[in-house]
Structure 1
Amino acid sequence: MMTHTFEIKDNFYLDGKPFQIISGGIHYFRVVPEYWKDRLEKLKAMGCNTVETYIPWNMHEPNKGEFHFDGMLDIAKFVKTAQELGLWVIIRPSPYICAEWEFGGLPAWLLAEDGMKLRGCYKPFLDHIRSYYKELFKVLAPLQVNYGGPVIMMQVENEYGYYGDDTEYLETMKQIMIDFGTVVPLVTSDGPMHESLSCGHLEGALPTGNFGSRTEERFEILKQYTNGGPLMCTEFWVGWFDHWGNGGHMRGNLEESTKDLDKMLELGHVNIYMFEGGTNFGFMNGSNYYDELTPDVTSYDYDGVLTESGDITEKYRRYQEVIRKYAPIPEVTYSTKIEKKAYGTLQYDARVGLFESLDDLSAPVKCKFPTSMERLGQNYGYILYHTKLEKEQNLEKIRLYEANDRANLFVDQKPLVTLYDRQLLFEAKAGEDFAKEDGKPVTFKKGAPLDILVENMGRVNFGPRMEHQRKGIDGHVQINGHTHLNWEEYCLPLDNIEKLDYTKGYTEGLPAFYHFTLDVDQKGDTFLDFEGWGKGCIFLNGFNLGRFWEIGPQKRLYIPAPLLKEGRNEIVVFETDGKQPGTITLKDEPDIG
């Protein structure tokens, strides 16, 4: 196998010759493996010579000491596929990736430990990274150019200058990577401002910038930190991400970004973020929190160069014309046949309520105080807190302390209220669901059940709130002014929905599971329209397609053809708010607002 050298001096040098990096970002974990080659072929055909990807720790080590590097997580296969197409690879293996990904890629089980401190020289955190990197770099190290692979560079941490200023931590991270076999040059990437670069740069790693506009100005600032080295935008933001309720799909300015790409290639090097965004399958969307909680939608389309489903856009064509000025455009034959199918409207053929299904899906844990998901060994999904109102005479006020993120409350298995974000307080007053019209307290029979269904909407992936992301209820439930004790807690990661028994009953207006059957003669990409449904998540043949929410902007969930089977397929919709029209429709085009 032919080995290579890659060096950073006044420029990038591959085998001793100047090399201009023209890269595009593709996250292998957001694209089904059957489509990796298609996306990489399209990247090459646009004129790119390199592909960049993050590596999500929370997927590769979902539970402490449990490692996965197969299927959708087969990073070695993704890298080797790129190599077969003549592409080079930039790997960003930082334990923290941001990427609008759940908890920025950090595993949720870190939060089970009291006192956990993230992204700094805190020994327990660093010990976990070492044990993870020990396994990860068994896969990554042989893929470097020095050993015949295509990996030319790796990144130390990620946008650390936005988070902290612990240079000792960055030095430690760099050394851990070297200890486990990193031999290719290292880079850091930060916002193109003095504050970020001064906190995030590191001796022995090339500083690069992340930005989407004003290239000349950004590069002038970056130049002050590169010590004569090459200028690179490691994340050239060509679009943006969507969060639930943001009013419409975010789009970049094509005219301006085309000019910026031209200037980047004139002055230096680029990685386009995102070439293709892909999909936040499952419960893997991240969230931001500035003034309020803003969880990201399931689609990570990002207004990328390719759409979420891999379609070539006008942006692709415009960027290709720019790249043509700086590099040859190769002839590429696409090897993957992809078609879109509209399979029509389906009516559910079975349904069962959540309350009727609790004992099939979960074994209750008895606790004096409410306990967070993480402390119960749960990472994602929902958790239900059940108790009985034995001593309360009525219900005037409920407050949830240290609760995240969205709570549906039920008294006597009747909907009371839905609480969201940090405002997890209910007070009986006129006009509230279940409260009397005259504003009097809610009444019930002695011993009536109180159930609180809490959804983890996606842990914050950016900023100082990351250390405060325990989900469920990690504090107290206060009723009318006293703390209510004695709970049964049902963990509901919904990774076992095959255990559902659809004969167990159903109550209109309560959380429930709806079963659909889809018969497929010919597989094709399709888009599941959830119009009329409230909020929840959808499963295809046991695979979690992601969340839906009537507030949009996303109105359909993308289903790649490889997730379908020829013949009978099962679709299960879990809906939490009691809103369901009884049907879903599979269409041949997306609708992301």
Structure 2
Amino acid sequence: MENTPLIAIPSIELKPAVSLFDSLPRSTRAIHPVHMEALGQALGFILYRHKVRSAVGGILKTGDTPRDRVLVYVNGKRTGVIDSIYPHPTLNLKPGDVLDTLIENLGRVNYGSEIPNQRKGIVGDVTVGSTVLLDWEHFPLTLEKPPSAHALLLILRTQPLQGQSSTKAHSMLRVPVIPSSNFLENGVILGRYWTVGPQQQLYLPGVYLKKRNNEITVLALEPNANQSPAKGIQVRSWSNNPDPDAP
């Protein structure tokens, strides 16, 4: 088998392109939250939206358990993260507030006793304190196709790169300033990156690179993702880092 080299790609400026909350797909309404599979969705993200009608306060609980990683927003501002280890945030909501929960499906097990319990999204009711929140909109974000009008929290997109790459060379893609994100190269999903590690770069196969006009799209899930440079390097590194969302 031919030994294909790894190449270095100079730093590439990434610029914000579109926000999730400005470009959502068509929604489905229900009195109670509906889990991902019941909506015909198998993968990706799902956004649940509730418009507050009366004041309510207390600990937010999103169904029986986080399935899997829940980003919580009030009026478009992130107010908490829920997963299997972090505590549920305390909210004080007033009439007119918009509560959004963006839930990322991190995958399913395919063995063992938990196979029947692999539904994703919200299973059960959402409560704030002792109050059950009713009337929800559901926005599926499957990522089965490259995002255009349907975007996640923030899309960072490069300008076309002229003559920076060769279709016969691979690279390791590094975006060191974005704690949590998903990457696409020329419309192909490369994978998920999370700063906690151990993987600190994503493999960029040369077969996905064109001789001209390559485009990197980053679906960034963290609020500090602006102006983060991308770079192709020749040596993969592994490390574990603190989770910036940890309380």
TM-score tier by shorter-chain length is 0.7 to 0.9
Q: Secondary structure at the residue paired with 1:409? A: strand
Deviations 1:430-452 (CA, angstroms, capped at 9, x unpaired): xxxxxxxxxxx6354x2111000
Aligned equivalents of 1:536, 1:427: Cα separation in 2: 22
- Aligned positions, number: 234
In structure 1, list runs of 5 or more residues that go unmatched.
Answer: 1-37, 39-335, 429-440, 503-509
Answer yes or no: is 1:344 the counterpart of 2:10.
Answer: yes
* Aligned position for 2:113: 464
* Aligned position for 1:450: 99
* Aligned position for 2:237: 591
- Written as runs of structure 1 = structure 2, the 5 A alignment for 1:15-94 is 38=1
Aligned equivalents of 1:378, 1:478: Cα separation in 2: 24
**Among candidates 60, 78, 85, match of residue 398 of structure 1:** 60
In structure 2, list runs of 5 or more residues that go unmatched.
Answer: 240-247
**Among candidates 18, 24, 29, match of residue 366 of structure 1:** 29
Deviations 1:22-45 (CA, angstroms, capped at 9, x unpaired): xxxxxxxxxxxxxxxx3xxxxxxx
Aligned equivalents of 1:400, 1:339: Cα separation in 2: 47
The one-letter amino acid paired with 2:204 is I
Shift of 1:419: 0.2
Shift of 1:352: 1.3
* Aligned position for 2:243: none
Contact 2:63/2:123 (CA < 8 Å) preserved in 1? yes
Shift of 1:548: 0.3
Shift of 1:474: 1.8
- Written as runs of structure 1 = structure 2, the 5 A alignment for 1:60-209 is none
Aligned CA distance change for structure 1 residues 368 and 424 (closer, same or farther; 3 Å):
farther
* Aligned position for 1:481: 130
Contact 1:398/1:425 (CA < 8 Å) preserved in 2? no
Answer yes or no: is 1:381 the counterpart of 2:44.
Answer: yes
Answer yes or no: is 1:511 the counterpart of 2:153.
Answer: yes
Aligned equivalents of 1:411, 1:481: Cα separation in 2: 19
Deviations 1:406-464 (CA, angstroms, capped at 9, x unpaired): 0000111111100002x686243xxxxxxxxxxxx6354x2111000000111123321
Query: Which structure shows the bigger proportion of residues in helix conformation?
Result: 1
Aligned equivalents of 2:119, 2:86: Cα separation in 1: 15
Shift of 1:349: 3.8
The one-letter amino acid paired with 2:111 is F
Deviations 1:174-224 (CA, angstroms, capped at 9, x unpaired): xxxxxxxxxxxxxxxxxxxxxxxxxxxxxxxxxxxxxxxxxxxxxxxxxxx
Aligned equivalents of 1:530, 1:461: Cα separation in 2: 31
Answer yes or no: is 1:567 the counterpart of 2:173.
Answer: no
Answer yes or no: is 1:493 the counterpart of 2:142.
Answer: yes
**Among candidates 398, 409, 417, match of residue 80 of structure 2:** 417
Shift of 1:394: 3.7
Aligned CA distance change for structure 1 residues 530 and 452 (closer, same or farther; 3 Å):
same
Shift of 1:498: 4.4
Aligned equivalents of 1:349, 1:398: Cα separation in 2: 33
**Among candidates 203, 207, 228, match of residue 558 of structure 1:** 203
Aligned CA distance change for structure 1 residues 462 and 343 (closer, same or farther; 3 Å):
same
Q: TM-score normalised to the size of structure 1?
A: 0.38
* Aligned position for 2:166: 522
- Written as runs of structure 1 = structure 2, the 5 A alignment for 1:296-311 is none
Aligned equivalents of 2:37, 2:195: Cα separation in 1: 28
Aligned equivalents of 1:536, 1:349: Cα separation in 2: 14
* Aligned position for 1:206: none
Aligned CA distance change for structure 1 residues 363 and 461 (closer, same or farther; 3 Å):
same
Shift of 1:513: 0.9
Root mean square deviation of aligned Cα: 2.1
Contact 1:397/1:425 (CA < 8 Å) preserved in 2? no
Q: Secondary structure at the residue paired with 1:454? A: strand
Q: Secondary structure at the residue paired with 2:92? A: coil
Aligned CA distance change for structure 1 residues 427 and 515 (closer, same or farther; 3 Å):
closer
* Aligned position for 1:578: 223
**Among candidates 337, 341, 357, match of residue 23 of structure 2:** 357
- Written as runs of structure 1 = structure 2, the 5 A alignment for 1:200-349 is 336=2, 338-349=4-15
Deviations 1:99-125 (CA, angstroms, capped at 9, x unpaired): xxxxxxxxxxxxxxxxxxxxxxxxxxx
Shift of 1:591: 1.5
* Structure with larger RCO (C-alpha < 8 A, sep 6+): 2
